[in-house]
Amino acid sequence: MKQDINRFEILEKIEPLIENTAMRFGFIPIEVEFVKENHRWFLRIYLYSKEKDVTLDDCENVTRSLNEFLDELIPVKYYLEISSPGLERKFKSDKEFLIFKGRRISLKLKNALEGENEKIFKGEILDWDQNEGLIFLRFDDGQELKIPKENIQSAKLYID
């Protein structure tokens, strides 16, 4: 018998629990995904903290705190994966510009800025506004740029 699963409903139920648990350990869950791959369900949680690196022990502690509660809320067998976002994480949501404010990123634009030829820049996130877009400090010339949200094709963390 095939069971219909609405992954969006499940995510809606479990995200507050995940956020509260992660915050108790000093982390922000920057991404939570519940996906089916090769006939198996996976719940992936990516944790971040400005104050400290995410360690294997941290992932294990959050896993242990979540396990029995998640089992009650998720009606199918699933695999739980908890990790850090990675050193050069590609941004998947606008909120990551706020979370990673002050960090270095590589930015790809849809269209070159006025008076520019390049569409790829490396720099630092100075600020983010949902309506205005990104305020960005370009490394190669120290120029502060204001980039409209709709002109951002992709962004990812950048490590020298």
**Whole-angstrom distance, CA of residue 145 vs CA of residue 135:** 6
Task: Tell me if 88 is assigned to some domain.
Answer: no
Residue-wise pLDDT for 19-77, tens only, equals: 999 999 999 999 999 999 999 999 999 999 988 889 999 999 999 999 889 999 999 99
Q: Which of 59, 83, 107 is the last residue of a domain?
A: 83
Q: Which domain CATH number covers 78?
A: 3.30.300.70
* 109: pLDDT strictly greater than 90: yes
- Asked if residue 1 is part of any domain, the answer here is no
d(Cα 158, Cα 150) in Å, to the nearest integer?
21
Does 1 score more than 60 pLDDT?
no
pTM reported for the whole predicted model: 0.78
The last residue of one of the domains, among 83, 109, 132, is 83
Q: Which of 83, 111, 126 is the last residue of a domain?
A: 83
- Please, what sign has the CA dihedral across residues 95, 100, 102, 105? negative
Q: How far apart are CA 22 and CA 17, in angstroms?
A: 9
Same domain, yes or no, for 11 and 43? yes
Contact between 41 and 79 (Cβ < 8 Å): yes
Q: Are residues 74 and 34 in the same domain?
A: yes
pLDDT in tens, 21-30: 999 999 999 9
Residue 153, exposed/middle/buried by CB under 10 A (0-12, 13-18, 19+)? exposed
